[in-house]
Structure formats: structure tokens, C-alpha cells
Amino acid sequence: VTRVVVAMIDPNPAVNGKGIQVLRQAGLDVTDGACRTQASRLNKAFTKLMTTGRPYVTLKIASTLDGKIAAANGESRWITSVPARRYVHRLRSRVDAVLVGIGTILADNPLLTVRLPGKHRHQPHRVIVDSQLRISLQARALHPQTGTRTLIACAIADPTKKAALEKAGAEIIEVSHRNGRVSFPALMERLGKLGFAHIMIEGGAKINSSALKSGIVDQVLLMTAPLFLGGHGARSLIEGETPSLLEDGIALGDLRVSRIGPDLMIEGRPYSRATPHSPVNHV
């Protein structure tokens, strides 16, 4: 080997270009910065973990055209198409963990696994936000695939329930907020210390709202089906208090709009409306 091409410098403070120096001192021709933009995009999760100590967070939402994530009776399977759901499973296979709230666990009892053809698909760990440990010991998410973990973030841990959950194989993380709820920033710090680089949130309206308002979300993936539900009974994609002013809303920048089957996918970076927005890229 006489020449090495490097896309980007390793953001790990323990490395931070030292490898390039060693190669050059050994007499090799090293070119760095080739395809830096593309490399930065590919390594965005690792870069955030190395530079902030927190994981990169993707918020995935599936909704109708009028912003509903479930019918009045709670039915949400399936709003989006088969191609869109397959895409989500591919995303799951690329992240370290999938995060949901206790509402999703109680309503749907999901497995939170990757279900795609192939025997050796990467399975994500599971993070469940459950402030008061209401989860059932029979919940399917507590019985993970071999080699994966189920972590339950709570604010109040009843000793008896905690012991039972730990016996079932779950790991309990206590990260309380002054309002008796789980603190999302504190949870992300804990997950970062555990080495989680990329978290995908697949929660309901409350989790979506809390995650966005807490400022932990780096990327929003909104998958919109060509469907209207309407009415006050259908569940909206975000709950909570409505801002008094438009400028207090959360906008999306660096937009990319694409199609997956019949569904529309909008990708963007959440930001305060007080800052300038970015153009839309149609893909």
C-alpha cells in the first residue's frame, strides 16, 4: 500500500486524525476529505455520540394526510403501505435501539423486531419509556431476540415490580424529571454512556410531543398515507398544548421529499421557527 484515501477524520477524541499522522510518518501518501459530505452523512450517529455523548435520534411517524396516527377506536394497523413498512424494518435493522412509550406497549403489544427475509438481520435493542412501570410481565417486548436488550426508563420504580422485571430480563433506568415523568435529555445521556449511537423513536402522540419539545430529535421521518380520517376522535400525531403563536411551533429544515409506494415521506431536521428555514429537496 502506497496511497490511502480518507473520507473524514475520526471524531473520536482518542483518535482525531492520529491514524493519518502515523500513516504519513510511515511514508504513505494520504489524501483526506474525499467525499467528506457523504461520509459525514453516513457517520452522523457515530459523530454525534463521539462529540456530545448522546445518540443521534430519529423520530419516525406514520400518519394520514390530515395528521392522524390512529382511528377513534385506536386502530392504526395499517395506515401506511407494505413498501413503507418494509422500509421501516430496514431502518430498524440499522439503528441501535427502537424507543416506544408505554402507551404503545399497552395498546399494540409490539415485538419491536426486524421482520425481513434473511436469517442474519441485525435486531435492535428496545427502550420503553414507562414512568410508573405499568408494563405487563407478559409484554412481548420483554422477551427479546438472543443478544438484544430491553431497557425500561422510569421515573418511579416500585421495588417489587422492578425486581420482577429484572428477573424477566429487563434493565431498569431511573431518569426522573421534576414533574414525575421520564426526562428525555437525561435518558439520552444514559443511553449514550451505554454506547447507543442511533435511536429510532416509534411512539405515539405523547412520546412524539415530548421528544420534540425536549430537543432530543435530530431527524424526523414523516410517512404520510393518501388517506383522510378527519373528526375530533381520531388521534393526532402530536398531543399537548397548542402554542399561542406560530413562531413558537417546531419547523423542519433540510427537507427531502420522496415517495415510497403510494405514500409520501418527508425527512427533515427540527428547529425553532425563529431561525431561517432550509430549501426543500424533492427526491
Mean pLDDT for 76-93 is: 91
Residues 47, 37 share a domain: no
Q: What angle do CA 264, 227, 283 make, to 5 degrees?
A: 10
Residue 92 exposure: Cα atoms within 13 Å on the Cβ side = 22
Written as one string, the DSSP assignment of 88-142 is HHHHHTTSSEEEEEHHHHHHH--------SSS-----EEEEE-TT----TT-GGG
- What confidence tier does 281 reach under pLDDT thresholds 50, 70, 90? very low
pLDDT above 50 for 271: yes
d(CA 36, CA 60): 27
d(CA 225, CA 68): 10
Residues 9, 66 share a domain: no
Position 277 scores a pLDDT of 52
β-strands 170-174, 198-201: how paired? Answer: unpaired
User: What residues make up the domain containing 145?
Assistant: 43-282
Residues 99, 22 share a domain: no
Q: Residue 117: which of 93, 144, 149, 150 has the closest Cα?
A: 93
Residues 131, 27 share a domain: no
Contacts of 242 (CB under 8 A, 6+ apart): none
Cell numbers given for 269 = 431536521
Residues 3, 112 share a domain: no
3-class SS letters over 144-192: CCCCCCEEEEECCCCHHHHHHHHHCCEEEEECECCCCCECHHHHHHHHH
Q: Domain of 65: which CATH number?
A: 3.40.430.10
Residues 98, 151 share a domain: yes
Residue type, 45: A
Residues 132, 223 share a domain: yes
Mean pLDDT for 139-152 is: 86
Residues 100, 31 share a domain: no
Residues 146, 188 share a domain: yes
Contacts of 16 (CB under 8 A, 6+ apart): 9, 10
Mean pLDDT for 6-20 is: 82
Q: Total domain count for the chain?
A: 2
Contact criterion met (CB below 8 Å) for 100 and 110: yes
Q: pLDDT digits over 200-238, tens only? A: 999 889 999 999 999 999 999 999 999 998 878 888 888
- Residue with the three cell numbers 429487563: 170
Q: How many CB atoms lie within 10 A of CB 71?
A: 15
Residue 270 buriedness (CB in 10 A; 0-12 / 13-18 / 19+):
middle
Residues 206, 266 share a domain: yes
Residues 50, 111 share a domain: yes
Position 7 scores a pLDDT of 84
Residues 210, 153 share a domain: yes
Q: Which is more confidently placed, 271 or 143?
A: 271
